[in-house]
Structure 1
Amino acid sequence: MPVLTRLSRALACAAFSLLSFGVAHAASEPSYGAELEGFDYPYPVQRYQFTSQGVKLQMAYMDVKPAKPNGRTVVLMHGKNFCGATWAGTIKELSNAGYRVVAPDQVGFCKSTKPAHYQYTFQQLSENTRALLESIGVKNAIIMGHSTGGMLAVRYGLMFPQQSEQLVLINPIGLEDWKTLGVPSLGVDKWYERELKTTAERIREYEKSTYYVNTWKPEYEPWVQMLAGMYRGPGKQAVAWNSALLYDMIYTQPVVYEFPRLTMPVLLMIGLKDTTAIGKDAAPAELRPKLGNYPELAKRTEKAIPKATLVSFPEMGHAPQMQDPARFHKALLKGLLR
């Protein structure tokens, strides 16, 4: 075979390999719209249209009705780096057990509106959620929140105690007041700068160390790409801006001082290897090891809430429902009020 022909074939093969790699790489790094357009949810998505603070908004939500209803409803409140879709496994387990499940995306998150100007408060998000539930005929419910959703669930329970049969708090943040402890304020502008630098690699590195105790499974990757995809898309600035506003809300609006005012039963489900603390990396070096001490925070929170029951997972991190779904859901179904 002539040298030129062999060289041409080699170059063609190399070009094909590079092209194939590029296609695979692009497929593994999807780009989504500002309202997570292009990312499929596990159940049909509906939208609640309403006006808040003079702005027309929509909240995306899943309303999953069981085949054999037990007459009870669970409302799922996602965390800061999560969406309604990340509750997929929990929705399935609850639905199979007879519960109606409502899983909204809060304003500013995922498939819901990301307004240019909005005063984010846990009170406002609670009111939005209450209005959504009333629009679909849900009068009373078990309110289950994970991470930032745990802070929201607490605020919701304080505002609507008669409509909250039980709170389930899964590794909630806000079990300590970071500002009072000495974590410096970053402010919205600095949060925005940080959020614009969001990449899949950064998300993965953080989640591996904090959520999954330095372990990784392929099933975690879609949730990394779900978040990173919005930062690759045309709505990156809107996503980052709303995220910055939400971080400022979390930092400036503690709920820890009001735990004694909760009147309903509260199920605390906490992975003790969690170390989450907002703004920890910006805190003084000597303070960082003292933040996010979940073994201590779990015990302190159980004592502070009058009707609390603590279920701990000693070897799990920030997301026990995803790290060990079978074990978590068994404990969840056992801990729900009958």
Structure 2
Amino acid sequence: MNWRSFQQLQKVVEIGDSFISYIDEGKGPPVVLIHGIPMWGYLWHQQIPALAETHRVLVPDLLGFGFSDKRDCFDRSISRQAEVIDQWMNALDIDQAVIVAHDIGGGVALRLATLFPHRVSKLCLLNTVCYDSWPIELMLQAGHPETKRKMSASTATNVLSHALKQGFSHSPDASVMEGLLAPYRTEVGKLSLIRNASALNTNLTTEITSRLPEIRVPALILWGEDDKFQLLKYGERLAWDIPSASLIRIENARHFVMLDQPDQVSRHLVDFLATPSESPRLEASPNGPSATVKR
């Protein structure tokens, strides 16, 4: 599916003075897919069809991202994003859902699982920000206010496109990269992306580190093992700190694991959604976190 067709499927719901654009496909128990920076819901376009065969798949654009509200007048932190997801679920009459999340979306998901635990029935994290693993240098530079004045929207997205290729194990399809960055090619989109990057705050994951052992819902961590942005050691640490978690390493994949290995990621997600509520666990190791999957 190209990004224009994807965008045409989006619905809109008002959240206070702002609005969220989102995909709502399939029927069954709800599963929410949350993207990271600098992406939008289109990031998940290759996983949606398989998941929608058995579940209601909801894919929001976070506030300030994609085709959600991008005005220069609100908080874009992962703390606020978690609150907005809570309000968005309430607006859609969704009490609880499986949360699947990537990058800063994973930071949002971790805050949901620790601070809004009633919202999360299962948790899946893919190459997510956590602890003090972020922001990466690229996003720190992107978030500098001078970027607004130094670069046009077209120049900024071209620079970003080139830099993001480090997040793929192979050169991404040109049409996919075009789609991922399409919402940010206007001056409004560029400024919104700058504000999104400037809102990245390590403290918002470090402050919940001590609460990770409180997460008791079934949890799966999928990690592109060659990620240069979010190193595998952070996935291993999450698998150690979340008692219910298991970790699956994805070979030949970097940060954008769902695009590097779409079929494999879809298969793991389908299997995870089909598993009973009792969680797989990692056994303790005297040498530290284990990356072995315990079934």
Tell me if both proteins adopt one fold, taking TM over 0.5 as the criterion: yes
Aligned counterparts, 1:246-257, within 5 A? 246-256=196-206, 257=209
Greater displacement, 221-230 / 101-110: 221-230
Deviation, 1:231, is 4.4
- Alignment of 1:46 with 2:11, yes or no, is yes
State the distance in 2 between where 1:194 and 1:260 align.
44
* Whole-angstrom distance in 1 between the partners of 2:69 and 2:47: 24
- The change in CA–CA distance for 1:326 and 1:253 in structure 2 (over 3 A counts) is same
Q: Deviations over 1:15-62 (max 9, x none)?
A: xxxxxxxxxxxxxxxxxxxxxxx93316622111132xxxx2111111
CA displacement, residues 234-274 of structure 1 (integer Å, 9 cap, x when unaligned): xx1x3233222222322344414243343322210000100
CA contact (8 A) 1:266 1:309 kept: yes
Partner residue in 2 for 1:316: 253
Counterpart in the other structure of 2:262: 325
Distance 2:166 2:137 in 1: 23
SS at match of 2:246: strand
Aligned ranges 1:63-212 → 2 under 5 Å: 63-66=24-27, 69=28, 72-96=29-53, 98-178=54-134, 188-190=144-146, 192=148, 196=152, 198-210=155-167, 212=168
Q: Distance in 1 between matches of 2:133 and 2:172?
A: 32
1:80 deviates by 0.8
Aligned to 1:264: 217
**AA partner of residue 67 (structure 2):** K
Distance (whole Å) between structure 1 residues aligned to residue 180 and residue 259 of structure 2: 16
**In structure 2, how many angstroms separate the alpha carbons of the residues matched to 1:227 and 1:333?**
24
CA distance in 1, matches of 2:56, 2:245: 24
Counterpart residue type for residue 115 of structure 2: M
Change (3 A) 1:190 1:156: farther
Return the alpha-carbon distance in structure 2 between the equivalents of residues 138 and 205 of structure 1: 38
The amino acid that maps onto 1:162 is: H
Change (3 A) 1:242 1:307: same
Give, in whole Å, the separation in 2 of the partners of 1:60 and 1:88: 15
Aligned residue-pair number = 268
SS at match of 1:334: helix
TM-score of the superposition, structure 2-length normalised?
A: 0.80
| Matched letter for residue 241 of structure 2 | A
Question: Which residue in the other structure is 1:285 paired with?
Answer: none
Identity of aligned residues (%): 20
Displacement of 1:128: 1.4
Larger Rg: 1
More helix by share: 1
The one-letter amino acid of 2:262's match is P
Question: Paired residue for 1:216?
Answer: 171
**Aligned equivalents of 1:133 and 1:314: distance in 2?**
34
- Looking at structure 1, the residues matched to 220 and 126 of structure 2 have their Cα atoms a distance apart, in angstroms, of 8
**Contact 1:170-1:268 at 8 Å conserved across structures:** yes
The reply on whether 1:275 has 2:228 as its aligned counterpart is: yes
Between the aligned partners of 1:134 and 1:99, the Cα distance in structure 2 is 18
2:193 matches 1:243: yes
Segments of structure 2 that go 5 or more residues without pairing to the other structure are 277-295
Cα distance in 2 for partners of 1:229, 1:76 equals 19
Gap change, CA 1:305 and 1:204, over 3 Å in 2: same
**SS of residue in 1 equivalent to 2:24:** strand
Residue of structure 1 in register with 2:271 after alignment: 334
Structure 1 vs Structure 2 CA RMSD = 2.8
Change (3 A) 1:171 1:177: closer
CA pair 125-306 structure 1, distance change in 2 beyond 3 A: same
Q: Against the structure 1 CA distance between its residues 310 and 195, is the aligned structure 2 distance closer, same or farther, given a 3 Å change threshold? A: farther
Report the AA paired with residue 198 of structure 2: D
